[in-house]
Amino acid sequence: MQKIGFIGLGVMGKPMAKNLVKAGYPLSVYDIDSDAVKEVVKAGAKQGNTSSDVAAQSDVVITMLPNSPHVKEVVLGKDGVLDGAKAGLILVDMSSISPLVSKEISEETKKRGIEMLDAPVSGGEPKAVEGTLAIMVGGSEDTFNKVKQILAVMGSSVTLVGEVGSGNTTKLANQIIVALNIAAMSEAMVLATKAGVNPEKVYVAIRGGLAGSAVLDAKMPLVLKGHFKPGFRIELHIKDMLNALETAHELGVPVPLASQVTEFMQALKADGKAADDHGGIIQFYEKLTKVEVRKQKHI
């Protein structure tokens, strides 16, 4: 069985790592948050002292980090993955970062005989806990096949979409669609509530029709409860959207709707809601209209 190293034990990474332990994989872990490391070690993993140390013990290293600079530092920096990796190691970066940075890192790993996949995920913390994430993978088919079983422990949908960088391009497309879905849901439900119609009844009425979606079913029940504890924080969605805008602009692709929703989220961040779940985009509309879309006592 392949020895796995896991670097990055945040909201998503921690349950993902725990699922690998449950599946019986020998796992070594590292994170700057010592409490997160202790929790995963308690579940059965081995503690690594640095990213380099984890790489030295592993056949496959998985990174799950906030953004492009963090991945570059962990992989290419001092005491990073490349400092400890042997030729033949496979690096699977499951962070959501710029596709261009994924390609840049891959070029550096190739010089050391290390293959890389970019494999960002969708589904938020609940799906990470369940092991039912959607995983979008970029890289060679041969490398993908070597780690597909590992990825299947963390996701119910694992798809090779193209060369390195394609995984993160797919994730950016995903994040645009999710953001616009949440904004559309928010706009519609604030309109209904302002008009005096029970938003819970509106949700029940439309969810089975063409307006129904996975986003609507995941976020609307939480909105009705006023529950904005993060499964995926607004500030992280902003990061993804900025990566999407940068990539789109470099390719000459206009993304006016994505630009506008990004500004909605930036406004929420300025209003102190950066750590709210991205379903909290509705609060942008609620503040403007002075209504709250919440479950009513009597339906």
Residues annotated as catalytic are: 171
Cα atoms found within 13 Å of the Cα of residue 8, Cβ hemisphere only: 22
Structure tokens of 98? 């710029």
Tell me the backbone φ, ψ of residue 2, rounded to 5 degrees: -65, 140
Is the separation of the CB atoms in 136 and 170 below 8 Å?
A: yes
User: What element of type H or E holds 219?
Assistant: helix 214-225
The bridge status of strand 90-93 relative to strand 115-118 is: parallel
Tell me the backbone φ, ψ of residue 233, rounded to 5 degrees: -70, 145
CA distances from 5 to 32, 58, 89, 127, 144 (A): 15, 5, 11, 21, 17
Is the separation of the CB atoms in 4 and 25 below 8 Å?
A: yes
Structure tokens of 31? 């994170």
